[in-house]
Amino acid sequence: QVQPVESGGGLVQAGGSLKLSCIASGLTFRSYTVAWFRQAPGKEREFVAGVDYAGSTSYVDSVKGRFSISKDSTKTTVYLQMNSLKPEDTAVYYCAAAEWYSGSYERQDKFEHWGQGTQVTVSS
């Protein structure tokens, strides 16, 4: 098992940047597909970005060209670099992991391991 722990959230002005980190507690993400999801007040939780165990990345259309997901060389941390932030990006961001998963990121039930979330607030 792997326990994700998120960090890096905060308050930023529109147009600014933040870098979120998702750290594997005890193990690594080597055999895991890891994704970032977010949930804004009154909204359903949605997929944002993901990287599978083979290194392929995927993004929701609304963040393409602005966000970038990556793994470090040790596979202990997954990052979400967020640039050109907009007020509509405001949400609690969650990191989740699913071992050897290659299906749709929309299947949130397939992600067994979830972090506690980190708040991202973008002011206008």
**Position 28 confidence tier, pLDDT thresholds 50, 70, 90:** confident
**DSSP E strand boundaries for 14-109:** 18-25, 32-39, 46-51, 57-59, 67-71, 77-82, 91-99
Q: Which residues pair with 96 in a beta bridge?
A: 35, 114
For residues 45-66, give the mean pLDDT. Answer: 97
User: Which residue has tokens 């609304």?
Assistant: 62
For residues 8-21, give the mean pLDDT. Answer: 98
pLDDT, tens digit, for every residue of 69-117?
Answer: 999 988 889 999 999 999 999 999 999 999 999 999 999 999 999 999 9
